[in-house]
Amino acid sequence: MAVRLLMEHLKPDERLKLLDAGCGTGLVGSVLGRNGFTGVQGFDLSPAMAERAIATNCYREVKGDIDIMRVREHYAESSFDAVLCVGVFTLGHVPPQALHELIALLKPGGLLVISVRKLYYDESGFQAELDVAMARSGIEIIGQLKDARYNQDGPDETEGLAHYWVLRGRV
């Protein structure tokens, strides 16, 4: 879903630098690679997950043991054409304030594509933090999909839903 939304606004080009933030086992990187994106880097908090992402051979570089709330210690600000963060904004993972860290990594006009689990959105104050991020950074929503299928988790189908956004940084 996230890669499809990205491709509505960005076409593959070998010069593009993309970051898979919280890459886990490399599922997003694999989909990006199959769709022609070759300049993908990734990071994850778990070194074991990062190793699994490396094994996909879809990334130029993958780093483990990186806390998303301290990501600017590892990547320069304004260095990516697009940052994707899929499966990270969920209960027990990261606070909504991580948005500011990801936005800081975007080149001017860069894209941030995120998924946010519906229950997390409802319980975390995510919308308020998104509003703050938009006011502070000038990032704007250029695409969104609400209550979309995320997975088959939980007995209640709302547990398997997410919201997706494509945000464009200030030019």
Q: What is the pLDDT along the chain (171 residues), one digit of tens a residue?
A: 899 999 999 999 999 999 999 999 999 999 999 999 999 999 999 999 999 999 999 999 999 999 999 999 999 999 999 999 999 999 888 999 999 999 999 999 999 999 999 999 999 999 999 999 999 999 999 999 999 876 544 444 556 799 999 999 998
Domains of the chain (ranges; CATH) run: 2-8+15-168 (3.40.50.150)
89-107 exposure pattern, b = at least 16 Cβ within 10 A, e = fewer = bbeeebebebbbbbbbbbb
Burial of 7 (0-12, 13-18, 19+ CB in 10 A): middle
Q: How far apart are CA 103 and CA 134, in angstroms?
A: 10
Residue 171, classified by CB atoms within 10 Å of its CB into exposed (0-12), middle (13-18) or buried (19+), is: exposed
